[in-house]
Structure 1
Amino acid sequence: MRTLRIAAGVEAASLALMLLNLFTVHVEAASSLLGPLHGTAYLVVIATAWPAANATGAGPGARWLAVIPGIGGLLALRRLDAHAAANRTSTPQPTGE
């Protein structure tokens, strides 16, 4: 999950920076750096979200959210975290008796 969190953040940030660069100064060097960075982060998000969804039992929704470019990793993380939180609250806690 840690790798997914980092990759999702890098993917979203690199897309925002690419769009900012495109609509403002359009520096070619920035595009040359950010394009491959974004693409790699996107692939890492997909590659880590699919097994994480299987391991947590979050279902296919989290896997398919990861495929959305730009924000998919963040959406998948949100779904995985919500599923993990629901599982924590529904598990009976030992009473110690």
Structure 2
Amino acid sequence: MNRPSRLLRGTAPAELASLAVLLINVSVLHLQAVASAIGPLHGCAYLIVIIAAAREAGPDRTATALSVIPGIGGMLALRRLATRYAQPA
């Protein structure tokens, strides 16, 4: 395998985007419908990022620990795993 899984590459940006929408909603819009729709989406993306990073990282516990940070953690774990795959074995 030469790069992180497609699941992690897809859900990490989705988690970050959903958190941004939630924060904008809380600070500006205050719409219950947005919170009701995006909240569960963010929660699912957050859990999928953690699970995918844990599966992908193997013995590298740093990538798994980074994935637990809400919002940006998935992107940080993705970057850590991408640099690991870029290094020669």
Alignment TM-score > 0.5, same fold: yes
Show CA shifts across 1:45-88 (max 9, x none): 0111001001xx5x11101101111111000000000111113x
- Runs (4+) of structure 1 exceeding 6 A deviation are none
- Counterpart residue number, 2:79: 78
Structure 1 residue corresponding to 2:39, chosen from 35, 41, 45 = 35
Cα RMSD, aligned residues only: 1.0
Gaps of 5+ in 2: none
For 2:54, which of 45, 50, 54 is the aligned residue? Answer: 50
Return the offset for 1:38.
0.3
Q: Identity of paired residues, percent?
A: 49
TM-score normalised by L of structure 1: 0.84
Secondary structure in structure 2 of the residue aligned to 1:44: helix
After superposition, the C-alpha distances for 1:21-66 in whole angstroms (9 at most, x for unaligned) are 1111111100001110000000000111001001xx5x11101101
Letter in 1 for 2:55: P
Q: 2:9 aligns with which of 5, 8, 14?
A: 5
Structure possessing the higher relative contact order (Cα contacts under 8 Å, 6 or more residues apart) = 2
Matched residue count: 85
Other-structure match for 1:68: 69
State the structure with more CA Rg. 1
TM-score, length-scaled by structure 2 = 0.91
Answering whether residue 30 of structure 2 is matched by residue 26 of structure 1, we say yes
CA offset at residue 2 of structure 1?
0.6
